[in-house]
Structure 1
Amino acid sequence: MSELGSGRMEIRFEAAGTTREEELRSLYDWLAADRALRGQIRVTRVAEADADAGRMGPGLDAVLAVLTAVSSVGQLHLSYLAWRRSHRPRSRVSIDITAADPDQVAELLRRFGETDDSDGEPG
């Protein structure tokens, strides 16, 4: 089970609340700096579709991790868990997984849900 059927999987991290952009920037920086993820996972920032007119630039809407091998999910899961433990996010973080196999998605959501604590909830 090392390759994905559709060729890739997308895991989208979103946050809610007044500190959501701060949380997403922190998560993005953490994942982008994780050497164990380099070359396995592409991590990108997703900008808001319609930013407020008074802003200097678009706000941060989500962090997207794109994987081509299921084996990369384990390291992403560990990195996310380490971020949660060190950062203790104040905003609710939700996780949306897109892949060809619905059973695989359900299992991954369960795994990410097990990493959660009372400070936020994957969804």
Structure 2
Amino acid sequence: MQWKEISTQDEWQEMLNRSQERPLLVMKHSTRCPVSANAWKECETYITTTSHKDVDYVLVKVIESRDVSNKVAEDLNVQHKSPQTILVKNNEAVWNTSHWHITQDSLEEALTGS
């Protein structure tokens, strides 16, 4: 599995629509923030060691794709934070966390519901 970087609102809409069929984990990442760099490392490690094959993984770079990042927050009614991970099912945010709370353990807990 790997993260799919999206940079357009059309790509976001496509992924959001797919969340009706399979869960979607969104990572909003700032390429200029050390806290976000740590969160991204946790996400990358998670996906290479523990990821679930029935989940889509999407990366949104908040500086480079600000309009997409804002649209994610608007569509999901989740206050924008960076870094931030959001689990989406059926076009709705069912879980989110940010900053130092983004860990391999928190991602696994969100995706398995335990």
TM-score bin, normalised by smaller chain: 0.3 to 0.5
- TM-score normalised to the size of structure 1? 0.33
Q: Which has the larger share of helix?
A: 2
- TM-score normalised to the size of structure 2? 0.35
User: Computing the radius of gyration over CA atoms, which structure comes out larger, 1 or 2?
Assistant: 1
